[in-house]
Amino acid sequence: MRFGAVAIAQSHGCILAHSMQLAGRRIKKGVVIDSAMVAEFEASGIERVTVARLDDTDTHENDAAIKIAMALCGTGVRTDKPGTGRVNLFAEHDGLLCFDREAIIAINSIDESITLATLPENSWVLSGKMVATCKIITYGVASSTVDQVIDGIGAGVSVQPVQSHRAVLIQTCLPTVKASVLDKTYGVIKQRLSLRRAELIDEQRCDHAIEPLSETLRVISASASAQCDWILIAGASAISDRGDVIPAAINAAGGRIIRYGLPVDPGNLLLLGELHGRVVIGLPGCARSPKLNGLDLLLDRLACGVEISQAWLNSLSVGGLLTEMLDRPQPRVATAKKRSLQIAGLVLAAGTSRRAGAVNKLLVKAQGTPMVQTVVRAVCDSKLQQVLVVTGHQHEQIEAQLQDLSATSTYCASHEQGMAHSLSHGISRLQHADAVLVCLADMPGITVALINRLIERATDNISDVILVPVHQGRRGNPVLVGRAFFDSLLQHSGDTGARYLMKQYPDRVIEVPVDDSAILIDYDTPQALSTLDSDVS
């Protein structure tokens, strides 16, 4: 590829290297200069322009990006469409992100114009999560270099799906251990397993001594009815040595110890063993708590059927000082009865409708029904527990359209200061919710099915994430915002809604693919309003 300034007459067929402003319009960088653009440049008195010229042996940035990204796609990973030399990779299902770290580093070492970035190894990802991105920095790259990169990819990037497993829990007892502690441990472990589609099929309790524990292990191992994959042992006291009660009992029952101790904190004192083809785990004391610990890292891998090697166990040392990780499945409340998530709907209908001209766009009818009524009805007919509509401009007329709907309204006196004021006004009245679906009242194409799809993607960690619908690689509305972001919304100002949060917290965003382009379409100009009936019919 050749890069530099050329005379306008020589620019035809070249790629424009920098955006330019001409005759009141902006020509974006990256476009191929055609004869009409050449004439426009000449008419504007421009003599030279900076371009990129691809040789016959070069591959265009978008073509190179999609070739590399497709080669990277392993199990459970898909790509979006290329644009500006970038292709993103997304998880097709929940599971564990796996790749060869050294291969990724090697790819980034081949040519500085080809970059690949991923989430951390062994990340637990949800369906729709972006897991990697391939970016070609220059407008083109040598085709031979692209081939070299593809040859070095190997197995690529995959998301291993969760598989079903069955487990048995053994708890050893001492006189000092209360029954309530054992009951709580059972609840935490059961939920921890269920989050990974593993069923806790039985629990046994025995004295904390080698002989009774080994006998319990033998009975479980011999039981045809158990058919368990994993045996988990919660000891009355921590495992202090390979000769301690739990490892000694495993050996006595005919098993073997694979690993004692992990370079992870919390979770150092975990023991991994095997007994007649079953995985045996001596739990660290911290496993009695729902807080993230070394057991979770091990269960993630076991749940997805990914190999547990000594090299992988050693690799846990980097990043082994654990903090709560958003996307990993974690039991939050183990002993209390699981409550249903409280998800509220918030419809923003307070705008002054300046761009629409003389009319209030929200009162314009589509199929005989005012736009605001169509939107609020869809929100009310969804699985949301409650719906709040924020009104402002011509609020009495807007509120009159809501009389027959199961929504409440609230007037925002500061609505003229921007959308953020209406948003914070609504959020301040919904702080009891785990999450709020923020919907714009000028998007009548939003359907009940689309809203429910977002709601159905909500999991126990919905308070900590932002769900956004995506159509053909473009993010749209409505957006489901967790309670963790309410304080930020209450302090926000200006004329932007919740979307700024996605730039501020990109690692907290979960994209939900949808087939409906309505998530991208609002009606806020006379031209758009004139098409309203045909667009939503």
* pLDDT value of position 225: 52
Q: Is residue 387 within 8 Å of residue 408, measured between CB atoms?
A: yes
pLDDT of 535 reads 56
Give domain status of residue 335, yes or no. Answer: no
pLDDT band at 328 (very low <50, low <70, confident <90, very high): low
C-alpha–C-alpha distance, residues 513 and 78, integer Å:
11
The reply to whether 15 and 69 lie within a common domain is no
Alpha-carbon distance of 6 to 51, in angstroms, equals 7
Pair (171, 251) in one structural domain: yes
DSSP helix, strand, coil percent of the chain (3-state; round to 5): 35, 25, 40
Domain check: are 367 and 310 in the same one? no
Q: Is residue 253 in a domain?
A: yes
Q: 470 and 365: one domain?
A: yes
- Domain boundary, last residue among 265, 298, 315: 315
Residue range 194-219, pLDDT digits in tens: 888 899 999 999 999 999 999 999 99
Per residue in 351-402, pLDDT tens?
877 766 677 888 888 778 888 999 999 999 999 989 999 999 899 999 999 9
Domain of residue 245, CATH code: 3.40.980.10
Question: What is the DSSP-derived secondary structure letter of residue 119?
Answer: P
404 and 505 housed in the same domain: yes
- Pairing, β 343-349 against β 435-440: parallel
Query: Where does a domain end: 161, 191, 215?
Result: 161
pLDDT on residue 421 = 83
Task: Tell me: do 111 and 234 sit in the same domain.
Answer: no
Q: What is the pLDDT of residues 105-156, one digit of tens each?
A: 999 999 999 999 999 888 888 777 789 999 999 999 999 999 999 999 988 9
For residue 336, being part of any structural domain is answered with: no
CATH code where residue 480 lies: 3.90.550.10
Dihedral sign from CA coordinates of 33, 39, 44, 45: positive
Secondary structure (3-state) at 519: helix
Same domain, 172 and 126: no
The two structure tokens encoding residue 384: 């949301």
CA angle (432 as vertex; 409, 291 as ends), nearest 5: 155
Which tens digits make up the pLDDT trace of 245-260? Answer: 999 999 999 999 999 9
The domain spanning residue 97 has which CATH number? 3.90.1170.30
- What pLDDT, in 10s, does the model give residues 516-533? 888 888 887 777 777 776
Q: Please check whether residues 80 and 209 belong to one and the same domain.
A: no
Cα separation, 326 vs 342, in Å, equals 19
Say if residue 132 is in the same domain as residue 225: no
Within a domain: 261: yes
Greatest mean pLDDT among 121-125, 323-327, 487-491 lies in 121-125
Q: Is residue 29 within 8 Å of 52, Cβ to Cβ? A: no
Confidence of residue 337 (pLDDT cuts 50, 70, 90): very low
Residue 330 lies in a domain: no
Q: What is the CATH number of the domain that holds 24?
A: 3.90.105.10
* Rounded distance between C-alpha atoms, residue 252 and residue 199, angstroms: 27
Q: What one-character-per-residue DSSP string does 374-433 give? A: HHHHHHHTSS-SEEEEEE-TTHHHHHHTTTTSS-EEEE-TTGGG-HHHHHHHHHTT-TTS
66-80, pLDDT tens digit by residue? 999 999 999 999 998
Q: Are residues 507 and 451 in the same domain?
A: yes
In the chain, the number of structural domains is 4
Q: HEC profile for 309-347? A: CHHHHHHCCCCCECCCCCCCCCCCCCCCCCCCCCEEEEE
Q: Rounded to 5 degrees, what are φ and ψ at 414?
A: -100, 25
Question: What DSSP designation does 120 have?
Answer: P
Q: Which domain holds residue 412?
A: 343-536
Same domain, 32 and 76: no
In a domain, 329, yes or no: no
Tens-place pLDDT, residues 420-461: 888 888 988 888 888 999 999 888 889 999 999 999 888 777
Please state whether 375 falls in left (phi above 0), alpha (psi between -120 and 50) or beta. Answer: alpha
Q: What is the pTM of this model?
A: 0.59
Mention every residue, 6+ apart, whose C-beta is less than 8 A from residue 234: 169, 170, 171, 172, 185, 189, 283, 287, 288
Tracing tokens 């000028």 back to the chain, one arrives at: 442
Is 12 in the same domain as 70?
no
Percent of the chain with pLDDT over 70: 93
Residue 144's Cβ-count burial label (10 Å; 0-12, 13-18, 19+) is exposed
Asked if pLDDT for residue 291 goes beyond 80, the answer is yes
Q: Does residue 323 sit within a domain?
A: no
Final residue before a domain boundary, out of 161, 191, 219: 161
Sign of CA dihedral 217, 218, 223, 228: positive
Residue 416: per-residue pLDDT: 81
Let me know if residue 327 belongs to a domain.
no
Average pLDDT, the chain: 88
